[in-house]
A and B are shown apart, each in its own frame.
Chain A
Amino acid sequence: MTYAINIALLLLLIVTAASATFLVKELMSSVFILGSYSFFLALVWAWLGAVDVAFVEAVIGAGLATVLFLVTLFDTAPKDSRLRRPPPPLAGVLGLPLLGVLLLFAANDLPSLGDPSSPPNVHISPYYLQQSYADTLTPNVVTSVLMDYRGFDTLIETVVIFTAGIACALLLKETKS
């Protein structure tokens, strides 16, 4: 009973926040509502058991991204942050709900959550779950996969983040006249 109520409430919050982000008239309010949307998404991740992802979603989505948007908005004139929206095109009004129904229909064929016989759960996950402590002597399976089995992957991800930071600093750096 409470399970169903939780899902319905989360779904309601997420859909409300997502649509309010688009419908609100001012960009500043839109940014804050987007931050709250990230918080609700973090709740979903935590509910699915992915606490790492929930952490990152809450901190980056609600914290860092909001600050980046705000800092950008501070540099714009007030007339740029107030929106005048043209009426949506007819193709979008008719086509998007149709696409949604199609996706819902296709979602029937997805394996249910935590199904032990679904393709991702039979490929290599059982090996990690059973052997990771013997192989890596690390209690947390996620950490052993990230830092040990796939250490190269994490290393290159770090290189990507480093490159992104350097590129941003170079792009945004004021050229000396």
Chain B
Amino acid sequence: MKRQHDSLIVRTMSRMLIPLAQLFACYVLFFGQYGPGGGFVAGVIWTTSLILTFLVFGLKSPQGRLVERMLHGDGAGLIIFVGVGGLCLIGGGEFLNYQHLEIPGLEAAERRYVGIVLTQIGVAADVAVTGISIVVSLAFHDTQREYHV
């Protein structure tokens, strides 16, 4: 777990399956208006794909470092969510009333679509960073820490 996994099969399969899981997470995120899914589910699927990344490739590998760097985004999702609500306030409506997002050239339905997708991206980012941060601090707490959560 701290180093790269020994088995070639595991590494090759992970290289193929991790992008597939992330693609599915994006599908669930952007299709949440029309089918089952949404921000929370997408964030959780994204988290598991990232956790698989550093379970297989280790925290020291380039992929692991990339995942580790995502921990700096803690709270960014929340800012996106609240920010969209604030933009609705600026547009003259209530907090989180997406109809009042001031985006020129968009119908009411499209404004609501943009608002809901943006807030769901916020939820997904928040959930994903939280999941990774818990696993990283649980799994790598006994080694010398060079990362900052």
- A67 interface residue, CB < 8 Å from B? yes
Q: How far apart are B87's CB and chain A's nearest CB, in angstroms?
A: 13
Interface residues of A in 16-68 (CB under 8 A from B): 51-52, 55-56, 59-60, 63-64, 67-68
Is there an interface contact between B126 and A161, defined as CB atoms closer than 8 Å? yes
Is there an interface contact between A146 and B78, defined as CB atoms closer than 8 Å? no
Is there an interface contact between B112 and A148, defined as CB atoms closer than 8 Å? yes
- A6 interface residue, CB < 8 Å from B? no
> Which A residues are CB-close (under 8 A) to B34?
139-140
Is there an interface contact between A158 and B47, defined as CB atoms closer than 8 Å? no
Instruction: Tell me, in angstroms, the Cα distance from A92 to B40 when the chains sit together.
Output: 38
> Which B residues are CB-close (under 8 A) to A142?
36, 38
Q: How far apart are A23's CB and chain B's nearest CB, in angstroms?
A: 27
Is there an interface contact between B74 and A147, defined as CB atoms closer than 8 Å? no
- B77 interface residue, CB < 8 Å from A? yes
Picked from A74, A75, A155, the residue with its CB within 8 Å of the CB of B85 is A155
Is there an interface contact between A64 and B47, defined as CB atoms closer than 8 Å? yes
Is there an interface contact between B44 and A64, defined as CB atoms closer than 8 Å? yes
> Which A residues are CB-close (under 8 A) to B51?
63-64, 67
- A115 interface residue, CB < 8 Å from B? no
Is there an interface contact between A173 and B137, defined as CB atoms closer than 8 Å? yes
Q: Which A residue sits closest to B110, measured CB to CB? A: A137
- B59 interface residue, CB < 8 Å from A? no
> Which of A79-87, A94-102, A106-114, A164-172 lies at the binding interface?
A164-172
> Which B residues are CB-close (under 8 A) to A120?
none
- A121 interface residue, CB < 8 Å from B? no
> Which B residues are CB-close (under 8 A) to A151?
85, 95-96, 119
- A2 interface residue, CB < 8 Å from B? no
- A131 interface residue, CB < 8 Å from B? no
Q: Which A residue sits closest to B42, measured CB to CB? A: A55
Please count how many residues in chain B sit with their CB below 8 Å of the partner chain's CB atoms. 52
Is there an interface contact between B133 and A51, defined as CB atoms closer than 8 Å? no
Is there an interface contact between A158 and B137, defined as CB atoms closer than 8 Å? no
- A125 interface residue, CB < 8 Å from B? no
> Which of B10-18, B61-69, B141-149 lies at the binding interface?
B141-149
Interface residues of A in 130-172 (CB under 8 A from B): 136-140, 142-143, 146-148, 151-152, 154-155, 158-159, 161-162, 164-166, 168-169, 172
- B57 interface residue, CB < 8 Å from A? no
Q: How far apart are A161's CB and chain B's nearest CB, in angstroms?
A: 5
> Which A residues are CB-close (under 8 A) to B135?
64, 67-68, 71
Is there an interface contact between A147 and B44, defined as CB atoms closer than 8 Å? no
Is there an interface contact between A154 and B32, defined as CB atoms closer than 8 Å? no
13 interchain pairs, CB-CB under 8 A: A55-B44, A56-B40, A64-B47, A67-B48, A67-B51, A74-B139, A138-B112, A140-B35, A151-B85, A158-B81, A162-B75, A164-B130, A165-B130
| Interface positions of B (Cβ within 8 A of A) | 1, 28, 32-41, 44-45, 47-48, 51, 55, 74-75, 77-78, 81-82, 85, 95-96, 98, 108-109, 112-113, 116, 119-120, 122-123, 126-127, 129-131, 133-135, 137-139, 141-142, 145, 149
